[in-house]
Amino acid sequence: MRNKIVAGNWKMHKTAVETKQLLNELIDKLPNDVEAQIIVAPTFVNLSLAINVLENSNIAVAAQNMHQAEAGAFTGEISASMLTNIGVQTVILGHSERRAYFHETDALLAEKVNTALKHDMNVIFCFGEELKDRQDNQHFNVVENQLRDGLFHIENNAWEKIILAYEPVWAIGTGETATPEQAQEMHEFIRETIRKHYGSDIAEDVSILYGGSVKPDNAKEIFSKPDVDGGLIGGAALKAEDFSKIVEGIR
Ligand code: PEP
């Protein structure tokens, strides 16, 4: 049985003081009778703080990125063991902003995935087509290639550590959301692609999140689709009230 998951990607937002405030608001406001795993991903410098504040809650903490190497002369970078050592067990890899602004390729992401798995971390693996790909009717090909080149080298037993996040680039931070039908169509395709490579058990068990301008007023409809197992939320994760309403939408 796959999990329902709602994850908040805070990107480069929130100071330490603001992080503490938002986390305490989330502890107060998030519904506790919803059967979904809740994850927040603050910036690196506030991960320890988040782990401490959330210690007695059921909200998990993820990093937004990490380096593929174990250690070394990589100024400004963060390793997997630095994360696990402070209690971070989950990392977002392949976010479209990392791909676009920091030139992360599928090959690099495959290395990062390997490093995360070696450290027994959960990976929220992000991928999705650009607007031009969809206009050219190439969106299924693009997504299939991203999965094949970034992820499909992993062993069957590694899939229990993987959460997929389909995030069409044209819908991220733009206010333009994929329709629930577009999301379902792509999620079904993704599950089918996994089924072809890894078989039905893995395909049925993997959680596939949708990301791209999910808001309180559209979350419920998107989450109601059979192959949408939750969401990766950007802007709306920065307000406790909005994020809580989105979590309500997973019921
Ligand atoms: C994201 O950055 O992963 C995202 C989905 O952002 P937004 O919800 O703001 O579109």
Å from CA of 13 to ligand 1 middle: 13
CB distance 9 to 234 below 8 Å: yes
Which ligand 1 atom lies nearest to the CA of residue 95? 3
pTM of the predicted structure, to 2 decimals:
0.98
> What residues have CB less than 8 Å from 41, skipping those under 6 apart?
7, 8, 9, 10, 61, 62, 63, 64, 92
Among 131, 166, 228, 232, residue to substitute to test ligand 1 (most atoms within 8 Å of Cβ): 232
Nearest CA to ligand 1 atom 8: 234
Cβ of residue 167 lying under 6 Å from some atom of ligand 1: yes
Question: Distance from the CA of 115 to the center of ligand 1, in angstroms?
Answer: 25
Q: Is 35 left (phi over 0), alpha (psi -120 to 50) or beta?
A: beta
CA dihedral sign of residues 200, 202, 205, 207: negative
pLDDT value of residue 98: 98
What pLDDT is recorded for position 79? Answer: 98
Position 43, amino acid: T
Beta pairing, strands 5-9 & 59-63: unpaired
pLDDT of residue 125: 98
What integer pLDDT is reported at residue 173 of this predicted model?
86
Confirm or reject: Cβ of 213 under 6 Å from ligand 1.
yes
pLDDT in tens, the chain (251 residues): 899 999 999 999 999 999 999 999 999 999 989 999 999 999 999 999 999 999 999 999 999 999 999 999 999 999 999 999 999 999 999 999 999 999 999 999 999 999 999 999 999 999 999 999 999 999 999 999 999 999 999 999 999 999 999 999 999 988 888 999 999 999 999 999 999 999 999 999 999 999 999 999 999 999 999 999 999 999 999 999 999 999 999 98
- Atom number in ligand 1 closest to CA 172: 10
Annotation marks residue 95 as catalytic: yes
- Please tell me the residue having the least CA distance from ligand 1 atom 7: 234
- Per-residue pLDDT, 27: 97
CB atoms within 10 A of CB 251: 13
Q: Which of 189, 125, 123, 114 is nearest to 155 (CA)?
A: 114
Mutate which of 214, 239, 247 for ligand 1? The one with the most ligand atoms within 8 Å of its CB, which is: 214
Neighbouring CB atoms inside 10 A of 179's CB total 11
Please work out whether the CB of residue 242 comes within 6 Å of at least one atom of ligand 1: no
Distance 210 CA to ligand 1 centre (A): 10
**CA-wise closest residue to 43 among 63, 60, 27:** 63
